[in-house]
Structure 1
Amino acid sequence: MPLLTLDAVSLSFGMHPLLDEASLVIEAGERVCLLGRNGEGKSTLLKIVSGEVTPDGGQVRLDDGAVLAVLPQNLPSEDMRTAYEVVSGAFPETGKLLAEFHQLSLQADEASLERMMKVQERLEALDGWRLDQKVSTILGQYGIDPDRRLDTLSGGWQRRVLLARALVGEPDILLLDEPTNHLDVPAIAWLEEALGQFRGAMLFVSHDRAFIRSMATRIVELDRGKLVSFAATYDRYLDLKEKALEEEERQNALFDKRLKQEEAWIRQGIKARRTRNMGRVRALKAMREEHRQRRVRGGTATFAVEDAARSGKLVVETRDAGFGYPNSAEIIRGLNLTVLRGDKIGLVGENGTGKTTLVRLLLGDLEATEGSVRLGTNLEVAYFDQLRGELDLTKNALDNLSEGREFIEINGQSKHVLGYLQEFLFTPERARSPVRVFSGGERARLLLAKLFSKPANILVLDEPTNDLDVETLELLEEQLAEFKGTVIVISHDREFLDNVVTETIFLDGSGQAREYVGGYSDWRRQGGSFPSEASGNRPDKQDKRTKSSAPEKKPESSSKPVAESTKSKPAKLSYKLKLELEELPGKIDALEQDVERLQSKISSEDFYSGPPDEVSATLDELADTEARLEKVIERWMELEEQANQ
C-alpha cells in the first residue's frame, strides 16, 4: 500500500508549469532524494505534499492514519523559546499546556496554583504526561538541554532541536529541504546518523552529494515539470541520466527530421495537392503542435573565471601570527603558513572555530595582534559571501551585475551584460526580476556571475555550495581546478573539497591551524578528526575507524604532515617491478586502441537504434576500459617516478 501518492499534480506560476501532471508514489521505509535544477520547483513540491501550497490540478493522497512531519530548510534567527517548548510544540494544544504547567510550577501565588490545577486536569484528559515523557526522552536521546533557548544555540544544535520536534510525533513520512545547509561536517555526520535510525519514509531535497550517497535509496528528478524516478543509487542515477539525455536527443533529432520532410511535402506544388492525403495533413498538424509544446531542457551554465594579472609568487606568509578580539581569547595563535600563487586551500573546522577570521587575517583585512603577516604583490581578490551580502535585493539581476555598464570585459572579450547573465542560466525576463524573488540557487548563481565578472588572481569562497544545483556545482569545480591563481575555500561539502583543494587547513577551535596535504578525505586518512567526535557527541563510525588507524598529530605542530611512504628515499626498483614497467607501455597502447574502437562504434549513427541491452553493454565496456586505462597509466607514472629517483 503506497504511503504517499501524487497523481497528475499540476501547478503554474509563469509561462511554463512548475509541475505538469507530475506523478509519484512513495512506499513505507523508502528514502527518496528529489533532485532538479535551481528554480525547477523542488521546494514548491515539498510544500504541496505538506499542504502549504494547493496545486492547480491533480491529487495528493496520504495513506489513512499516516503522520507527516517537516524539517524546515531555514533555521530560526530570533526564536526565544526553550528547546522543550519547541519540541513539545509538535503537539499544539498539549505542548502549550505542558509549557504553561512548567512555568506555573515556578510560581507560588494562589492564582497560579489555581490555574495549574486546571491545566493539570486538561493534561490528564489529553494524556499529556505520556507526551511529556516522549518529549523528555527524545531531548535526552539527542543530548539537548531542554532549558536552552533556541536563539542561543549554533546552527547544528538548532537542527537537532527541529529534528527532535519533527520525530517526536513518530511520523510515517519526513520531508526535508536542504537539511545540510550551513551545518558543519560533524553536524552533518550526526544528522546522517540520526536519520539512518529513522524507520519511516523520507522525501528530501539536497545537493550535498556525499549526503545523498549516504541516505538515498531512490532518486527522483524534477525535470521540466515531470517527475522521473530512478530506482538506483546516486552514482548509478548519474549514468542512467546521461544515457536518457542522449536517447532524448536522438529521438528529438529523428522527430525533427521527419517533421522537416513532412513540411517539405505539404509545400509541394499543385500536382502534389491533388493526391494529398488528408490524414497525413492532420498528422502534420499534430506534429507541429507536439513540436511547439516541447520543453527543451535548459542549457548548462558556461561561466569562466576572469583572470587578472598574475600575483607575485608569494601570496601571504605568516610567522607566529595570532589574532584575538579585545577581552576575548585568541582565535588564531602561533600560525606559521606560506601561501604561494596557484595554491588551492580548503579551510575545515566546526562552526565558530575562526575560519572566516583566518581568511580576513590572511587577506590583510585584520591586523595580527601578535607575530607578523606579510602580503605578496599585485593581489586582486574576489570574495564570495555565504550570506549573499553583496547583492541588493531591491534591484534586479541586471542592475546588481552591471553597476551602470552595458558591456563587461571577460578575458579580453566584450560581452553584453544580458548575454553574460544568460551564461549563468538567467533568461532576459528573469534577469529583469528583483533579486528578492529569487531562489537560494539563483542568488548563488548571480553572486558567482558578479564575482567572475571582475579580474582576480585570488578567489575566496565562503560556503559556495549552498543552494547550487549539482550541474552548476560541477562546473564551478572545473573552473576552480583550471584557475591559475590562488583559491581559498571555506566549505563543509566534503566532495567539493576533495575535488577542488590541494591543501587542507584544519582549525580545532583552540586557536591552532594545522596544514594537511590533499582534500577532506586525505585529511581524514592522515588522522584528522573533529573535537566533538572524540567526545562521542556526534557519532561517525567510519571516521572513528580512520582516526584509530592513523598516528595522532601533536597540537603544537603546524607543519604539513608527511606521508610515511615519503619520509625516506624509496628503494630502487626490484627486478620484478622493472619487468612490470617494461610491459606497461604495451598494455597502454592496447587499451587505447580498445577505447578508440569502442568510441568509433558508439559514434555511428545507428548505434542507439540497436537493442538496448547491447547499447548499455557497449557503454559499460567503454567506461570499464577507460577506467582500466587510467589505472595502468597511473601505475606506469608511479614506477617511472621511482625509477628516476
Structure 2
Amino acid sequence: MTLLALKNITLRFGGPPLLDGVDFAIERGERVCLLGRNGEGKSTLMRVVTGQQQADDGDVIRSQALRIAEMPQDVPKGLTGTVRDVVASGAGAVGEALAEYYQLLERDPNQLDRLGKLQHVLDSQDGWALDARIDSIVSRLELPPDTDFDALSGGLKRRALLGRALASEPDLLLLDEPTNHLDVDSIAWIEDFLVSWSGALLFITHDRAFLRRLATRIVELDRGQLTSWPGDYDNYLRRREERLHAEAQEVALFDKKLAQEEAWIRKGIEARRTRDMGRVKRLYEMRDQYAQRRKLQGTAQFTVQEAERSGKLVTEAKNLSYRWDDKTICRNFSTTILRGDKIGVIGPNGAGKTTLLRLLLGQLQPDSGEVRTGSNLEIAWFDQLRSTLDESKPVWENIAGGREFVEIGGARKHVMSYLQEFLFTPDRARSPTHVLSGGERSRLLLAQLFSQPANLLVLDEPTNDLDVETLDLLEELLNDFDGTVLVVSHDRAFVDNVVMRTLAFEGDGRISEYVGGFEDWLRQRPTPAAKSAPATKPATPATTAAPTPAVTKPAMSSKDKRELADLPAKIEKLETEQEALGLKLAALYAEKPDQAVDVQKRLTAIETELAGAYARWETLESLRS
C-alpha cells in the first residue's frame, strides 16, 4: 500500500531548482534511505513530505489519515519536564493534557477545577489509552520516565526524541542524521529497535554501517533529480558508478558534436550562403541544452601536507591513571604508539576519549604513571567542538590566520583557490562562518587542518555531517598518509577502513587494546554476559549448591598439531617479507609511485595475515597447555 507519493515536485530558492520534477513514493513497511551531497536539498525534500515546505509545482498525495512523525537532527529548544512528559508531547494536545494532568497531581493536587477539566479532555479523547501507550514506549526504549529531560546524556535525549515521534503512532517516520553525536552502543540500540519496528521509514544518514543494516531501498537526490535504487548499499554504489560512467560518455559525445557544429557555423561566407537552416536551429537547441546542463557537484580534492618525519616513537604510556572529578578515565593503562600507526579510540559518550588523547600527547598530566612523547612531532588537531573556527569572521579568514596566501606542498596558493578544493565557491568563502551548515563546517575545519604541515593527525569525531563522497576521500587520504593518525569516531565503517589498532573504553577506567578496527573489537571483546556476570552466588540456607563440573578443554586433533607446528615458519616468512617490502617502499614512493601503491596494499594484507596467524597460534597453544 502506497502511504505517500510526490508527483512532479518542483522547488527553487533562486538559482537552479533544488527539486526539478521529482517523483517519489513510499510503501508501508519500507525503510528508504535518502542520499545526496551536502546542499543538494535532502532536508528540504523531507520538509515537503511533512508539509512544512510548500512546493512551487506538483502534487503531494497522502493516504487517508496518514500519520507522519519526525525525529529531528538536533534537539529542539524549549523541551522541558520529565522524560515521560517529553515523550507524551509527541501526541499533540492530548499528550500535553496528559503531561499537565500528572504534573498537577504531583505538584499541586488541590487545583481540582483544572484537574477536572483535564480529566474530561482525557476521557473524551481516548487519553487513557494514550497513557498506557506512553508507558509502553518508555519501557521499550529503556528510558527513565521520571528523570528530567535536561539531565539526560546526548544518547538518551535522542532516544527520548524517538519516543516522542512514536507517541503519535506514525505510519511514516522521518529521521534526519539519527546517529550524529551518538556513541556506538546508542547507535546499535536504535538500529535494533528500527529493524523490528513495523512502520515505514525515510531517513538521511552518512553512517554507512547504519545504512547497510536498515535500508531496503536507496533514493539519491542529485542535481534536482531523484533516482531510486532497489537493493542494498553496495548494489547502489556499483550501479551508480555505471550510470555516472555512461553519463560522462554521453556528455563527451554531446560536447564533441557541439564543437563540430560550432566550427561549421563559423565557416566562410560561401558556406553560410548554402547552410542548412534546420541544422542552424538544431545548433541553437544544442547551445540551450549546454547552458541548462547541471554539472555533477565536484568532489573535494584536499591533500595532507606532510611535515618532516617524526622520530620512530610517537608516544609511550606506562601504568597511566587519571581521574576527572569523581570519574576514573583510565587505570594502569600502558601502550606504545610508533610512527605510521593508525589508532582508533572508541567508547561511550563521556568516557574520556578526548582526555585520553590529551594525556597521550602530554597536554595533561596523569595522576600516576608516565608518558614519554617522541621527537619532532608536528601535530594537526581536528576538534569535534569546532572551537578553532572564529564564527565572527568570513570563511576565508579562518584559513592561515587570515592571510591571502597559503603554502601547500611548497607552492604558494591563493586562499580562495585553496578553499575551492574543499567545495567552497568564492561567494561562500566570503560568507560569515556562522551561517555554514554542519557539513560545510566540517570541510572548513579540514581545510584549516590540512593548511599546516603535520606528521601526526589527531581527528576527534571528523565524520559528523560529512557526505559519503567526502568520507571516502578522507579515508583514502588517511590510508596513504605516511605519518601517524589518532582518531576518535563512532562511525564504525570509518574506523574499520582506517585504523590498524583500537583502544576501547570498557568501563571503570579499563582501556583495552585490540588489533584491527570496530568489527575486530566486536569479535575479540569480552561478551556482555562475561562482563556483567556476578561473583559466585552463595547457596541459600534452604538449598545446597550443586557441585560445579570441571571444564574440560577440547583435545587437539592431529590437524591442529600439524598447523601449530607449521605456524612459526609461516609467521617468520611473513615478517621477512614485511621487512623487505618496508625497506623497498620508501624508494618506490620517490621513483615509481604506481608500484608503491601495490606494495602498500601487500603490506596491509601481510599485517592482517600476521594478526590472524598470531591469534591462531595463541588459540592452539592454549589447547596444548
Give 1:68-147 correspondences, 5 Å limit: 68-76=68-76, 79-107=79-107, 110=110, 112-147=111-146
Q: Cα distance 1:179–1:638, how it changes in 2: closer, same or farther (>3 A)?
A: closer
Describe the SS at the equivalent of 1:74.
coil
Q: Distance in 2 between matches of 1:189 and 1:357?
A: 24
Which residue in 2 is equivalent to 1:34?
34
The question of whether the paired residues in 1 share the 8 Å contact of 2:42 and 2:204 is answered with yes
* 1:281, distance to aligned residue in structure 2 (A): 1.6
Mapped to 2, the partners of 1:439 and 1:53 lie a distance apart of: 19
What is aligned with 1:5? 5
TM-score norm. by structure 1 comes to 0.82
Instruction: Mark the CA change 1:180 to 1:528 in structure 2 (over 3 Å): closer, same or farther.
Output: farther
2:217 paired residue number: 218
How far is the alpha carbon of 1:14 from its aligned partner?
Answer: 3.8
Q: Which moved more, 1:386-395 or 1:410-419?
A: 386-395
SS in 1 for 2:403: coil
Work out whether residues 175 and 203 of structure 1, in 8 Å CA contact, stay in contact via their aligned partners in 2: yes
Map of 1:570 onto structure 2: 567
Opposite residue 514 of structure 1, the aligned amino acid is S
Q: In structure 2, do the counterparts of structure 1 residues 386 and 109 end up closer, same or farther at CA, with 3 Å as the change threshold?
A: closer
The residue correspondences of 1:192-591 to structure 2 (distance < 5 A) are 192-326=191-325, 328-527=326-525, 570=567
Question: SS where residue 181 of structure 2 aligns?
Answer: coil
* Contact persistence 1:508–1:530 (CA under 8 A): no
1:638 shift after superposition: 6.8
1:23 has 2:23 as partner: yes
SS where residue 138 of structure 2 aligns?
helix
Instruction: Return the alpha-carbon distance in structure 1 between the equivalents of residues 65 and 276 of structure 2.
Output: 58
What do the CA deviations read for 1:614-644 (whole angstroms, capped 9, x no partner)?
xxxxxxxxxxxxxxxx99x979x979x99xx
> Counterpart of 1:5 in 2: which secondary structure?
strand
Local SS of the residue matching 1:333:
strand
Alpha-carbon distance in structure 1 between the residues aligned to 2:525 and 2:141: 27
Give the secondary-structure state (helix, strand or coil) at the position aligned to 1:174: strand
- In structure 2, the CA distance between the partners of 1:83 and 1:319, relative to structure 1 (3 Å rule), is same
Instruction: Quote the residue 2:591 is aligned against.
Output: none
- Contact map agreement 1:354 1:509 (CA 8 A) in 2: no
Which secondary structure state, in structure 2, belongs to the residue aligned with residue 475 of structure 1? helix
CA distance in 2, matches of 1:525, 1:194: 22
Provide the rounded CA distance (Å) in 2 between the counterparts of 1:522 and 1:373.
Answer: 27
User: Cα–Cα, structure 1 residues 116 and 567, in superposed 2: closer, same or farther, change >3 Å?
Assistant: farther
Give the letter for the 2:421 counterpart: E
CA shift at 1:167, angstroms?
A: 1.4
Q: Contact (CA 8 Å) 1:346, 1:490: kept in 2 or not? A: yes
Q: Structure 1 vs Structure 2: percent identity of aligned residues?
A: 53
Q: What SS does structure 2 have at the residue aligned with 1:122? A: helix
Q: Which whole-Å CA distance do the structure 2 matches of 1:466 and 1:521 have between them?
A: 20
Gaps of 5+ in 2: 534-560, 571-600, 618-625
Q: Is the CA contact (8 Å cut-off) linking 2:314 and 2:374 kept in structure 1?
A: yes
Equivalence for 1:167: 166
Letter in 2 for 1:403: G
Which residue does the alignment assign to 2:581?
none
User: Residues 85-112 of structure 1: CA distance to partner in whole angstroms, max 9, x if unpaired?
Assistant: 11111222112211221122125664x1
Q: Structure 1: which 5+ residue stretches go unaligned? A: 536-563, 574-629
Contact 2:229 2:236 in 1 (8 A): yes
Change (3 A) 1:109 1:53: closer
Q: For 2:271 and 2:439, how far apart are their aligned partners in 1? A: 54
Query: 8 Å contact 2:91–2:167 — kept in the other structure?
Result: no
Whether the 8 Å CA contact 1:186–1:530 is kept in 2: the answer is no
One-letter amino acid matched to 1:72: P
- Alpha carbons of 1:567 and 1:152: their partners in 2 closer, same or farther (altered >3 Å)? farther
Give the counterpart letter for 2:451 in structure 1: S
Superposed CA RMSD in Å reads: 2.6
Query: C-alpha separation between the residues in 2 aligned to 1:404 and 1:348?
Result: 35
CA contact (8 A) 1:319 1:373 kept: yes
SS in 1 for 2:90: coil
| CA drift at 1:126 | 1.3
Cα–Cα, structure 1 residues 528 and 347, in superposed 2: closer, same or farther, change >3 Å?
farther
Segment of structure 1 superposing worse, 493-502 or 75-84 = 75-84
CA contact (8 A) 2:91 2:164 kept: no
484 and 432 in structure 1: CA distance in 2 versus 1, 3 angstrom threshold: same
Q: CA deviation at 1:159?
A: 1.5
Would the aligned equivalents of 1:508 and 1:531 in 2 still touch at CA under 8 Å? no
Kept in 1, the 8 Å contact 2:390–2:433? The answer is yes
Distance 1:194 1:251 in 2: 44
**Cα distance in structure 2, aligned partners of 1:11 and 1:388:** 32
- 2:60 corresponds in structure 1 to 60
Q: 1:59 to 1:394 in 2, by over 3 A?
A: farther
Deviations 1:364-396 (A, max 9, x none): 221111111122222221111112221122222
Cα distance in 1 for residues equivalent to 2:185 and 2:303: 33
Does the 8 Å contact 2:80/2:86 carry over to 1?
A: no
TM-score, length-scaled by structure 2: 0.84
Alpha-carbon deviation of 1:487? 0.7
Does structure 1 retain, via aligned residues, the 8 Å contact 2:317–2:371?
yes
Q: Distance in 1 between matches of 2:426 and 2:312?
A: 41
| AA in 1 matched with 2:203 | F
Q: Any idea what the Cα deviations from partners look like across 1:437-472, whole Å, max 9, x if unmatched?
A: 221111101100000101111111111111101111
Q: How many angstroms does 1:195 deviate by?
A: 0.6
The corresponding residue for 2:580 is: none
Query: 1:394 and 1:568, CA in 2 relative to 1: closer, same or farther beyond 3 A?
Result: farther
